[in-house]
């Protein structure tokens, strides 16, 4: 039997310090997860939007494809939004729905099958369980650790990092504002919007200065040079999302792949899901971002038929085209090949940096001497 849970941090055992981000909503597949872990990186399976039974099937399938450790990512549930805010937004979307020939979805609140997925992960432990949109209670973290998993918590600011350390996390996923998809913040607070969020390099330094835990850097990393940069800034690994969306193993929709091959700018929006996320600008995002309420997952359910229609009819203007700020640098390679190419580039980038920095002071003095002799 394959032993998926081992002792010591998963990060310390990686042949390549590259993590496949959980990519909920279609792109995450067992094939993608296994390909990254088989290449010596660390693959996550996204559990967001999946019922516990669907997650169990995906985990079983992943186990047939790799013996290497993998992780599962869960969304921490929030609280229901005031119904009036969602009703007003639904009225606004009626015209889009009529044009697309669909009915809007029911704007219901749910907890994403939280308790059942936790029980599944206690019964079928994986090497790492990571959390997004909040920090679980210390008892939940204890239970998962007791089952043999380590717990990573995604943070977007120093205050969230402190809370995750206090709750007993084993590592922090540090998400910069460049990141594609949802901002992982514990609370989605529009009052914070004008700050634009904290960029990855700043956040790594701020969190690193106060949290004595391994850090996994994520947001806008598309090249080996950027992998090297975050390692040099103290991260134990780099977690990439958008960079893997073009891989053949990913379940990324065709309209999304086409948009990733273009060059339109990205923007932050609540228009598709009711929670702040970064995607490539399109018709729906531009039309509705300013009016979209904080109401997740209600708005996600409301817009689901529109997004589905966009995917099947090939209309990118209706689809949430999640992408990080450096998406234009994506390479549609098989995932294992991409992991190896990124690692090779990172080694070269670090060597170049080393050469740039590595001359000892006295060698510099000798150079100065010889420079003085130059005409
Ligand atoms: C399509 C897509 C889906 C995502 N789904 C999740 C998810 O399920 N859980 C999560 O923690 N982060 C999710 N993210 C965010 C990633 O974990 C990560 O923070 C982000 O991809 C990093 O920025 P990058 O896309 O520029 O690499 C998603 C990102 C994208 C692009």
Q: How confident is the model over 203-218, as pLDDT tens digits? A: 999 999 999 999 999 9
pLDDT tens digits along 103-138: 999 999 999 999 999 999 999 999 999 999 999 999
Atom 29 of ligand 1, residue of closest alpha carbon: 181
CB 323 within 8 A of CB 280: yes
Spacing, Cα 252 to ligand 1 middle (Å): 13
Residue 2: predicted pLDDT: 42
**Does residue 336 line the site of ligand 1, with CB under 6 A?**
no
From CA 307, how far away is CA 327, in angstroms rounded?
Answer: 21
How far is the centre of ligand 1, averaged over its atoms, from the C-alpha of 101 (Å)? 30
Q: Tell me the average pLDDT across 57-61.
A: 98
Give the position, in ligand 1's atom list, of the atom nearest the Cα of 178.
26
The pLDDT of residue 368 is above 80: no
Q: In the predicted model, what is the mean pLDDT of the chain?
A: 94
CA geometry: angle at 236 spanning 147 and 323, to 5°?
A: 95
Q: Quote the ligand 1 centre to 182 CA distance (angstroms).
A: 7
Check whether 336 has a pLDDT greater than 60.
yes
Separation of 366 CA from ligand 1 center, angstroms? 50
pLDDT given for residue 211 in this prediction: 93
- Whether pLDDT at 82 is above 50: yes
Q: Residue 9's pLDDT band (boundaries 50, 70, 90)? A: confident
DSSP string covering 204-256, please?
HHHHHTT--S-EEEESS--SHHHHHHHHHTT-SEEEESGGGTTSTTS---HHH
pLDDT of the residue at 365: 52
Model confidence at 36: pLDDT above 50: yes
Phi and psi at 358, nearest 5°, equal -80, -5
* DSSP-derived secondary structure letter, 107: -
Q: Model-level pTM greater than 0.85?
A: yes
Question: Dihedral of CA 229/232/233/239: which sign?
Answer: positive
Q: Minimal CA–CA distance to 240: which of 196, 181, 321?
A: 181
Ligand 1 in contact with 230 (CB < 6 A)? no
pLDDT band at 282 (very low <50, low <70, confident <90, very high): very high
Cα–Cα distance measured from residue 128 to residue 144, given in angstroms and rounded to the nearest whole number: 9
Q: 250 CB under 6 A from ligand 1? A: no
Specify whether the backbone of 191 is left (phi greater than 0), alpha (psi in -120 to 50) or beta.
alpha
CA-to-CA dists, residue 321 to 91, 160, 318, angstroms = 23, 27, 9
List, in order, residues 6 or more apart from 134 with CB less than 8 Å away.
76, 77, 78, 186
Phi-psi region of 113 (alpha: psi -120 to 50; beta: other; left: phi over 0): left
Over pLDDT 70: what percentage of the chain? 94
Rounded Cα gap, residues 60 and 2, in angstroms: 12
Ligand 1 neighbourhood includes 322 CB (under 6 angstroms):
yes
Q: Is the CB of 46 under 6 A from ligand 1?
A: yes
Among 112, 160, 177, 241, the mutation site with the greatest number of ligand 1 atoms within 8 A of its Cβ is: 241
CA of 241 to the centre of ligand 1 (A): 5
Least confident of 4-13, 107-116, 271-280, 289-298: 4-13
What is the pLDDT confidence band of residue 367, given thresholds at 50, 70 and 90?
A: low
- Among 343, 311, 355, 349, smallest CA distance to 27 is for 311
Residue 364, pLDDT score: 52
**Token pair of 277 as six digits:** 């996320």
3-class SS of residue 152: strand
Query: Could you read off the pLDDT of 297-311 as tens digits, one per residue?
Result: 999 999 999 999 999
For ligand 1, whether the C-beta of 173 sits within 6 Å is: no
Q: How far is the CA of 24 from the centre of ligand 1 (A)?
A: 8
Six token digits for residue 84: 């009036």
Whether the Cβ atoms of residue 69 and residue 7 lie closer than 8 Å to each other: no
What ligand 1 atom has the least distance to the C-alpha of 46? 8
- What's the average model confidence in pLDDT over 275-292? 98
Residue 86's pLDDT band, with cuts at 50, 70 and 90, is very high
The H-or-E segment that residue 277 falls in is strand 277-280
Q: Which residues contact 260 (CB under 8 A, 6 or more apart)?
A: 242, 245, 246, 252, 280, 321, 323, 327, 330
What's the mean pLDDT in 61-88?
97
Report the pLDDT value the prediction gives residue 235, as an integer from 0 to 100.
Answer: 98
Which residue's CA is the nearest one to ligand 1's atom 18? Answer: 241
pLDDT for position 3: 43
The Cβ of residue 368 has, within 10 Å, a number of other Cβ atoms equal to: 9
pLDDT band at 370 (very low <50, low <70, confident <90, very high): very low
Residues 42 and 22: beta-carbon distance below 8 Å = no
Q: Tell me which residue has its CA closest to atom 9 in ligand 1.
A: 22
Task: State yes or no: pLDDT of 176 exceeds 90.
Answer: yes
pLDDT at 165 over 50: yes
Q: What is the mean pLDDT of the segment spanning 59-84?
A: 97
């Amino acid at each position: 039997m394959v032993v998926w849970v081992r002792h010591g941090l998963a990060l310390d055992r990686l042949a390549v310090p590259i993590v496949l981000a959980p990519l909920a909503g279609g792109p995450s597949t067992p094939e993608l997860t296994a390909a990254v872990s088989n290449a010596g990186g660390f693959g996550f399976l996204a559990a967001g939007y999946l019922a516990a039974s669907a997650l169990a099937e995906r985990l079983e399938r992943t186990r047939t494809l790799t013996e290497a450790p993998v992780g599962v990512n869960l969304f921490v549930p929030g609280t229901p939004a005031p119904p009036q805010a969602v009703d007003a937004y639904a009225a606004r979307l009626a015209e889009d729905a009529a044009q697309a020939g669909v009915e809007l979805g029911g704007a219901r609140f749910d907890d994403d099958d939280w308790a059942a997925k936790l029980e599944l992960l206690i019964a079928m432990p994986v090497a790492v369980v990571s959390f997004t949109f909040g920090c679980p209670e210390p008892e939940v973290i204890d239970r998962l650790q007791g089952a043999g998993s380590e717990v990573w918590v995604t943070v977007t600011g120093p205050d969230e990092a402190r809370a995750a350390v206090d709750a007993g996390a084993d590592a922090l996923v540090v998400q910069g504002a460049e990141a594609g998809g949802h901002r992982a913040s514990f609370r989605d607070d529009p009052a914070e919007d004008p700050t634009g969020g904290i960029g990855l390099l700043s956040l790594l330094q701020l969190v690193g200065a106060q949290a004595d835990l391994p850090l996994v850097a994520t947001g806008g990393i598309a090249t080996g040079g950027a992998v090297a940069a975050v390692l040099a800034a103290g991260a134990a690994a780099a977690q990439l999302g958008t960079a893997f969306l073009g891989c053949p193993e990913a379940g990324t929709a065709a309209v999304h792949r086409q948009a990733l091959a273009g060059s339109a700018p990205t923007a932050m929006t609540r228009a598709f899901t009711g929670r702040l996320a970064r995607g490539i600008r399109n018709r729906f995002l531009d039309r509705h971002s300013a009016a979209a309420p904080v109401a997740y997952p209600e708005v996600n359910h409301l817009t689901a038929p529109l997004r589905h229609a966009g995917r099947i009819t090939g209309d990118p203007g209706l689809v949430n085209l999640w992408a990080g700020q450096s998406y234009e640098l994506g390479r549609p390679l098989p995932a294992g090949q991409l992991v190896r190419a990124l690692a090779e580039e990172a080694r070269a980038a670090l060597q170049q940096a080393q050469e740039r920095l590595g001359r000892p002071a006295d060698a510099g003095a000798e150079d100065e001497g010889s420079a003085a002799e130059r005409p």
